[in-house]
Amino acid sequence: MTTNRFFPRFRFITAITNEQFALITFSDLHDYVLSEIVSFRVTKPYGMSEINQKQSKVIEVGDFTIRVEIDTTDFTPFIFPVSGQNTPPVCVPVGSGIVLNSPFLVYTILNDAFDNVRIS
């Protein structure tokens, strides 16, 4: 796994499926968790530019994958361009989502993903 000591942590995207709940695959292990809110940066050369700047809650996690609540069924397929210098597609955290076991019905923390804390 690539050492990433900057926050928020981001991951390079290697694949995105076209389905009701998109499955995102990363090049490295990730530390995203259930209910975390993430956002995507995908430029046109990679296809699926419809997902660019969209935010969603993580609903499933695997070692190299997350599933999100974005219906990509009708989006352009995700591809890797054959050549050229392109900004690589990434996923970035934008908030922790709903706080579990909160005494309030709906309580979210949106700014904690941006705490710039050094991990030694």
| pLDDT on residue 43 | 92
| pLDDT on residue 120 | 43
Q: Band the pLDDT of 83: cuts 50, 70, 90.
A: confident
| pLDDT on residue 98 | 54
Question: Does the CA dihedral 55-16-90-29 come out positive or negative?
Answer: positive
- Res 107 pLDDT > 70: no
pTM attached to this predicted model: 0.75
Kindly list the distances between the CA atom of residue 95 and the CA atoms of 50, 56, 61, 77, 109, in Å, as whole numbers in the listed order. Answer: 21, 10, 16, 27, 6
Structural element, H or E, at residue 67: strand 65-68
Q: Band the pLDDT of 70: cuts 50, 70, 90.
A: very high
Q: Band the pLDDT of 55: cuts 50, 70, 90.
A: very high
Angle at 5 between CA 45 and CA 85, to 5 degrees: 20
Q: Contact 67/60 with Cβ under 8 angstroms?
A: yes
Angle at 36 between CA 15 and CA 57, to 5 degrees: 65
- Res 71 pLDDT > 70: yes
Q: Which of 58, 40, 68, 54 is nearest to 97 (CA)?
A: 58
Least confident window among 21-30, 58-67, 77-86: 77-86
Largest CA distance in the chain: 52
